[in-house]
Structure 1
Amino acid sequence: MATERTVTSNPSNGERPKVVVITGPTASGKSKLAVDLASHFPLEVINADSMQVYRGLDVLTNKLPLSHQNGVPHHLLGTVSPNVEFTAKAFRDSAIPIIDDILARNHLPVIVGGTNYYIQALVSQFLLDDSAEDMDESCLGDPPSVTQSDNNFIGEIDGSNNSYDLLEDDNNFIGEIDGSNNSYGLLKDIDPVAANRIHPNNHRKINQYISLYTRTGVLPSKIFQGKAAEKWGQVDNLRYDCCFICVDACLPVLDKYVEQRVDCMMDDGLLNEVYDIYNLNADYSRGLRQAIGVREFQLLLRICAVKDICEKERELIEGSVLEKGEKLCNGNLMEVVRSSSNTESTILLEEAIEKVKLNTRRLVRRQKRMVSRLQTLFGWNIHYVDSTESISSKSEDVWTGQVVESAVKIVKSFLSDNGSSPSTFGTSNDTGMKITQRDLWTQYTCKACGDRVLRGLHEWEQHKRGRGHRKRISSLKSKARNTTGFVKEKMEYSECEH
């Protein structure tokens, strides 16, 4: 592995260790960039994708194959049991000693992944606040600004490029679906401020908040608004000296590439992987089974495919075509379903594939928005490199010239003693207000957009500037001009209710 320089870090002299963080939406080229940077720097990669940490589903989670890692050490990639819940706290506790070991080898730790709440938990000391130390593992995995998503948006998870964790739309939380509305009512009685922060169908987070209060007697909102929240994102309290690089591309190109990638995954046996872990009674809100691309096929497997496959296997075994114990789905299960005479199976298969594509496109949008929030809400200095042309042209030369070389310059400047440090994050927003003074908790309701709920002043302001909101306001005002006796106050649709 050729390198241009060594990496020096001496935490004992008071300087924070240097780490590089490569984030961005799924399919933008994060993993590839990390490997290519190893030709210029002695680095090791720590995976920060909440689904790629698990063993299994290598095709579905798009793990970088060993043959493409080019000898670069990769950590936390396919190492966790698929049945456990690997929380942001668990990631942090696992990654810190790995980073220490990498630094001890005089190598550069590079954190790579789209699960931003993993990255936040790692680089910030937010989780170490004494008042929050005993919280449930994933309670503090998200920054105080993680809120309900936009209309018709389901997005990350998040997390990773394949996670449903924390997925929300206006009507449904996609993670936990079996909770009771009574829990949300209880949380509202206990801590209405915390209840306003989360969606009523986010039963996992609701139960975590209630559990926190039961065990500690501390209101969740007090913790998020207390000392821990004050430390969140502050430059002096970040654990590492960070260089943040976001690999990004324009949405039309990413959308097209995502759809092509899903088709390739199907050809490579994605459905076989899902079939192998299919279990009618499994918990699909924990561990690897919450990955995008699993639940979409659940109806197909439950109603049609499993029955058809078992019946075909029995017939082939009886006809001595298959030996007992041999599986029909050793071939491509997708082709088996498509060749089935069962029309319902074929329809459900195509619908599931389209759902995977749709949910992945939504994930891309949420990941983009989460990166933007880290920059605008918390003042992180994020360096963007554009992979749009390299994705659309499929040109290695374009990738090297526009993405790799740009990233190399950023990292060189970061590591240079005389270079400007990308870790000089601002602790104030555009108006000079401290970030901790931002309104993160107030609930706003936009009447013009069907009583849509926004949480926090930042999200409210972003919503008001959105094209959809402005079009609705314009339409309502046009209707108002054509309506006699219209009361002026009715036009104030852009105002909010607290």
Structure 2
Amino acid sequence: MAIVNGGTRTVSANLNMGGEKPKVVVIMGPTGSGKSRLAIDLASYFPVEIINADSMQVYRGLDVLTNKVPPEDQNGVPHHLLGTVSPDVEFTAKDFRNSAVHVIDGIISRGCLPMIVGGTNYYIQALVSPFLLDDSAENVGGGCSIYPGDEGLGVDLDECRDGLKYDHNHLKEIDPVSANRIHPNNHRKINQYLSLYYRTGVLPSTLFQGKAAENWGQADSFKYDCCLICVDASVPQLDEHVDSRVDIMMAAGLLDEVYDIYNPNANYTRGLCQAIGVREFEEFFRCYIPEGGCKKESAGLSPKNLMECNEILKENMRSILTSPCDGQPSLLLKEAVDNVKLNTRRLVRRQRRQLKRLETLFGWKIHYVDSTEYITCKVEDSWTAHVVEPAVQIIRSFLTDGSATETMKPHSSELIKKDLWTQYICQACGNKVLRGAHEWEQHNQGRTHRKRMYRLRKKCEGLSLLHQKLPPQE
């Protein structure tokens, strides 16, 4: 493999010789931190090809909303799994793993460096982890199925929904242990577990306990030698940045994109409709689009008139967006935009928690570069000094003398003994349900919980003093 270094190419040291694992770089981090830009900038130093690991960017469509890097900004760097999947299908972590492995093999055969880039941590974990539900189910259950004739096909939940109940209560009847682990509104995971059970006859909870769970998520069993780099920034700066980015997206045509795919009967748990910024506009569209709308040929309009009708509606939407009027459509639209920002900020926190969990619970060693200063001041020298140059040094060190054992933290008994199934309930926080000792510990350390406990203690102390001062009753 050749490495670009100061405009010249030199041969790297023993990247895939003597039976060593091929080397792969993974760029992780919360949304808005600068992962895609860093990956493209690194192509000036290394002969990289980028594999997208964003669960919404894999789909075709909604390029503005999902913040895909446009071709003119890719600087000629090959991008894979970017806008290649039909927006109506469910592209699972296993689908990503299978597709990415094939792409990585092709990149390595061309003498280039595979670079996985994205914020969907469960995609990356599926690629890194030696354990996936379906793989272990085949080992535990022998690939058997309680439905004859569906071997290897899986269960299509939408087709079977009339005959079977795919909900949390049904999972609780079949496997109460795994149902306890899943939030009742986590339809994706509920569907996955029930599909697994009906296809293999194996209870999902059995796969996460005993021997099967010991290697789950452990990065040092990966078939590649991985260098994990996280582009991170302080949360307040990320909050401001993602809010500003949503405004930029709105100006770039986000609303038109969502209008084009709007369906009042959409399934928001499947495909591209899961993206933040789709469901949030549902109430606005229900109010704004006239009954029947201009969405289908059934509206009785010719294709030309249908197109003109849609353009008029879009133009009116844009005028609502910039209008100072406080009518119902304007209020609903403003609320939708605010919800997109709110849910994006929540995603930032969720992604950062997941990264910390990969470190503390699964032993991943992640190298961090900080984009806070650049996000705050937008000075190019800051981006180069604090993000690009440190990442280049990390990768150079990894390519020349790094190895899988040096990149990953060693296992310990504490890492292997994961309590993922115990359910905890915090009464102080409104009977909030926490699943697993790690979640419980993180919750207890959280600022919100500590504030609630402080107020409760003060309240109890006040009641105790009041009781002491009350005269005794006769």
Alignment of 1:106 onto 2:111: yes
C-alpha deviations, 1:221-273, integer Å up to 9, x for none? 11112443222233542121111111011111111111111111111111110
Alignment of 1:61 onto 2:69: no
Q: Contact 1:127 / 1:228 at 8 angstroms: preserved in 2?
A: no
1:464 to 425, 437, 444: 444
Q: 1:202 Cα deviation (Å)?
A: 2.4
2:462 to 468, 482, 485: 482
Task: Select the structure of larger CA radius of gyration.
Answer: 2
- TM-score, with normalisation over the residues of structure 2? 0.83
2:228 to 222, 237, 244: 244
Cα distance, 1:266–1:345 mapped onto 2, change above 3 Å: same
Greater shift in the superposed pair: 279-288 or 334-343: 334-343
Q: 1:308 Cα deviation (Å)?
A: 11
Which residue matches 1:270? Answer: 254
Cα distance, 1:477–1:332 mapped onto 2, change above 3 Å: same
SS at match of 2:401: coil
SS at match of 2:116: strand
Q: Contact 2:363 / 2:408 at 8 angstroms: preserved in 1?
A: no
**Partners in 2 of 1:281 and 1:420 — Cα distance?**
48
Cα distance, 1:379–1:361 mapped onto 2, change above 3 Å: same
**Partners in 1 of 2:394 and 2:287 — Cα distance?**
52
Q: 1:452 Cα deviation (Å)?
A: 1.4
1:357 to 327, 331, 341: 341
C-alpha deviations, 1:71-101, integer Å up to 9, x for none? 1000001111111111101111111010001
Q: Contact 1:235 / 1:423 at 8 angstroms: preserved in 2?
A: no
1:326 to 290, 308, 311: 308
**Partners in 2 of 1:101 and 1:19 — Cα distance?**
13
Which residue matches 2:366? Answer: 382
C-alpha deviations, 1:177-196, integer Å up to 9, x for none? x9x99943333333222111
Q: Contact 1:10 / 1:17 at 8 angstroms: preserved in 2?
A: yes
**Which amino acid counterpart does residue 120 of structure 1 have in structure 2?**
Q
Aligned runs of 1:391-406 on 2, under 5 Å? 391-406=375-390
SS at match of 2:39: helix
Q: Contact 2:64 / 2:252 at 8 angstroms: preserved in 1?
A: yes
Q: Which runs of 5+ in 1 are unaligned?
A: 136-177, 312-316, 488-498
**Partners in 2 of 1:398 and 1:477 — Cα distance?**
46
**Which amino acid counterpart does residue 3 of structure 1 have in structure 2?**
V
Q: Contact 2:26 / 2:115 at 8 angstroms: preserved in 1?
A: yes
Which residue matches 1:17? Answer: 22
Cα distance, 1:323–1:448 mapped onto 2, change above 3 Å: closer
Q: Contact 2:25 / 2:115 at 8 angstroms: preserved in 1?
A: yes
**Partners in 2 of 1:8 and 1:106 — Cα distance?**
13
Runs of 4+ in 1 over 6 A off after TM superposition: 339-342, 418-421
Alignment of 1:93 onto 2:94: no
Cα distance, 1:63–1:17 mapped onto 2, change above 3 Å: same
Which residue matches 2:423? Answer: 443
Greater shift in the superposed pair: 450-459 or 335-344: 335-344
Q: Contact 1:269 / 1:332 at 8 angstroms: preserved in 2?
A: no
**Partners in 2 of 1:334 and 1:108 — Cα distance?**
45
Cα distance, 1:70–1:57 mapped onto 2, change above 3 Å: same
Cα RMSD for the two superposed structures: 3.2
Cα distance, 1:276–1:325 mapped onto 2, change above 3 Å: closer
Cα distance, 1:78–1:13 mapped onto 2, change above 3 Å: same
Aligned runs of 1:25-36 on 2, under 5 Å? 25-36=30-41
Q: Contact 2:188 / 2:269 at 8 angstroms: preserved in 1?
A: no
SS at match of 2:241: helix
Greater shift in the superposed pair: 354-363 or 338-347: 338-347
SS at match of 2:24: strand
Give the share of equivalent positions with the same residue, in percent. 61
Q: Contact 1:305 / 1:345 at 8 angstroms: preserved in 2?
A: no
Q: 1:300 Cα deviation (Å)?
A: 1.2
- TM-score, with normalisation over the residues of structure 1? 0.80
**Partners in 2 of 1:66 and 1:182 — Cα distance?**
41
Aligned runs of 1:40-439 on 2, under 5 Å? 40-127=45-132, 130-133=135-138, 183-306=167-290, 325-329=307-311, 334-338=317-321, 343-417=327-401, 423-428=407-412, 433-439=413-419
Q: Contact 2:29 / 2:351 at 8 angstroms: preserved in 1?
A: yes
Structure that is richer in helix per residue: 2
C-alpha deviations, 1:76-133, integer Å up to 9, x for none? 0111111111110111111101000111111110000000000000112212875324
Q: Which runs of 5+ in 2 are unaligned?
A: 141-161, 296-300, 468-474
Q: Contact 1:213 / 1:219 at 8 angstroms: preserved in 2?
A: yes
Q: Contact 2:219 / 2:362 at 8 angstroms: preserved in 1?
A: no
**Which amino acid counterpart does residue 19 of structure 2 have in structure 1?**
G
Greater shift in the superposed pair: 72-81 or 456-465: 456-465
Q: 1:418 Cα deviation (Å)?
A: 6.5
C-alpha deviations, 1:18-64, integer Å up to 9, x for none? 10100101010000000000100111000000000111100000000
Aligned length: 433
**Partners in 2 of 1:436 and 1:332 — Cα distance?**
57
SS at match of 2:132: helix
Greater shift in the superposed pair: 359-368 or 413-422: 413-422
Q: Contact 2:225 / 2:403 at 8 angstroms: preserved in 1?
A: no
Cα distance, 1:231–1:269 mapped onto 2, change above 3 Å: same
Q: 1:201 Cα deviation (Å)?
A: 2.5
**Partners in 2 of 1:72 and 1:478 — Cα distance?**
59
**Which amino acid counterpart does residue 437 of structure 2 have in structure 1?**
L
**Partners in 1 of 2:425 and 2:315 — Cα distance?**
49
Which residue matches 2:4? Answer: 3
**Which amino acid counterpart does residue 291 of structure 1 have in structure 2?**
A
**Partners in 2 of 1:479 and 1:298 — Cα distance?**
42
